[in-house]
Amino acid sequence: MTPAERFASARVARLATVDPAGRPHLVPIVFALDGDTLYSAVDRKPKRSTALRRLANVAVHPLVSVLADHYEDDWSRLWWVRADGSARVLPLADPEAARALLLLTARYPQYAAQPPPGPVLAVDVDRWTAWQG
């Protein structure tokens, strides 16, 4: 299994961005993978604001890391995969955003009833790093 395939098998990942002052910001995300592009969208889950810090951070520092992992008490089955790349914020009017929302809706049935209102975060992965026990 390639690192990208293993990554895609995870249901959730953690997105790491850097704020304008250089401080790290880490949040869990759901995602869909299309080749070497990872997509996540601002959805309707409760948030303090729709002006998400991750989007503001990407506007200033587009380089991000996204980590997916698997833990079991049998440590021989542990693994993690990190996707490093450059992030872009896509408005919903962008055809790439529409494709991303279709991929996300196909992956997460919860989005069928309430599609994400966006915007969409696209990460162009330029390096996959992986480890397994």
Could you give the angle at the alpha carbon of 116 between the alpha carbons of 54 and 61, nearest 5°?
Answer: 20
Do the strands 24-29 and 32-34 form a parallel or antiparallel pair, or are they unpaired?
unpaired
Do the strands 32-34 and 79-90 form a parallel or antiparallel pair, or are they unpaired?
unpaired
What is the pLDDT, as a whole number, of residue 127? 98
Per-residue pLDDT of the chain (133 residues; tens, 9 = 90+): 999 999 999 999 999 999 999 999 999 999 999 999 999 998 776 556 667 899 999 999 999 999 999 999 999 999 999 999 999 999 889 999 999 999 999 999 999 888 888 899 999 999 999 999 8
- 3-132, CATH topology level: Pnp Oxidase; Chain A (2.30.110)
How far is it, in rounded angstroms, from Cα 55 to Cα 63? 12
pTM to 2 decimal places: 0.93
What is the pLDDT, as a whole number, of residue 115? 87
